[in-house]
Amino acid sequence: MKEEKHIIFLFFLPSIIFLAVLFIYPFLYGFYLSFTNEEGEWTLENYLTFFKDPWEVRTIWTTFKIALPATLISILLAIPFSYYMRHGIKGERLISFFLILPVTLGTVLVAEGMLSYMGPAGWLNQFLKAIGIIKEPLRLTHNYTGVVLGLIIHNFPYALLMLLGYVSGIDPNLEKAAQILGADGWYIFRKVIFPLWVPGIAMAFSLNFVMAFSVYPTAVLLGQPSGPTRVMSISVFHWAMEKFNFNVGSAIAMVMGLIELIVILVVMSLRQRMFKGGSMVGKA
């Protein structure tokens, strides 16, 4: 089509303005805030406030300690599940419905429900006691375990549906060919499907990790936000919205974003080193 360039540009103008004003500008503004004080003078103090205080710096470690296991467990569970579901299974619609449920309902409702369901007198503990697995109720809320469980309940279905999207996009003929050539199930998974699946798994891992790393409501409602589960988001929120110090708040948010970026880059470079050419996947 021989369209003039400036007319094509008009189609994109609304979203370019949108991106510039609502996404790029706030980012630059946050960057600026993080390096200035309230008088607008350039300073490193905001970062020093964070890094000099052991109580604040510990949030980085705390967040990793929560986000990494939660992400790993979600992904490692999701891989066999989605692999099993790759050609479609019986009752798939119903299963998918229950999987999408916690994702759609969001972290707040799930956390609120878990408080009573997994609490000391909740159904879960009553049940486990009744069948004799435990004598004393398990402590699953208001601690580290509660936050990790809450994240898994939210992230496992998310990871599963994402991985399912990728694995069901791999050309089934490859698998058939391998089968005809005499490969068994484990061999097919290891040598045919998995290498083609790695880009999808890397992507799912990155997104899940980033989501888990910025956990907020789950860490507050199901954990101990003033101690063992004081994650970076809580620290950011505390500085920006409770102390109304957007300078320090932005600085911590920048650190958080940087860590997320580094983790994604590490995952992506690992993927590239492990499987060159793995991205040649047949799309659904």
> Which C-beta is closer to another protein: that of 57 or that of 128?
128
Q: Is 117 in the site for another protein (CB under 8 A)?
A: yes
- Tell me how far, at minimum, the Cβ of 53 lies from another protein, in Å: 18
With contacts defined by CB under 8 A, name the span among 45-53, 68-76, 102-110, 187-195 that binds another protein. 102-110
Q: For residues 268 and 274, give the distance between their C-alpha atoms in angstroms, rounded to a whole number.
A: 10
- Tell me how far, at minimum, the Cβ of 80 lies from another protein, in Å: 8
- Tell me how far, at minimum, the Cβ of 221 lies from another protein, in Å: 5
- Size of interface with another protein, in residues (CB under 8 A): 93
- Binder of another protein out of 161, 174, 183, 267 (CB under 8 A): 161
With contacts defined by CB under 8 A, name the span among 42-50, 53-61, 189-197, 256-264 that binds another protein. 256-264
- Tell me how far, at minimum, the Cβ of 134 lies from another protein, in Å: 15
- Tell me how far, at minimum, the Cβ of 70 lies from another protein, in Å: 14
* Torsion angle (degrees, nearest 10) of CA 233, 235, 236, 239: 160
- Tell me how far, at minimum, the Cβ of 206 lies from another protein, in Å: 8
Q: Is 182 in the site for another protein (CB under 8 A)?
A: no
Q: Is 226 in the site for another protein (CB under 8 A)?
A: no
- Binder of another protein out of 122, 197, 201, 223 (CB under 8 A): 122
Interface with another protein in residues 64-83 (CB under 8 A): 80-81
- Binder of another protein out of 87, 273, 276, 283 (CB under 8 A): 283
Q: Is 269 in the site for another protein (CB under 8 A)?
A: no
Q: Which residues touch 229 (CB under 8 Å, ≥6 apart)? A: 62, 66, 143, 144, 147, 219, 222, 223
- Binder of another protein out of 48, 241, 262, 274 (CB under 8 A): 241
Q: Beta-carbon neighbour count of residue 53 at 10 Å?
A: 12
Interface with another protein in residues 26-65 (CB under 8 A): 26-27, 29-31, 33
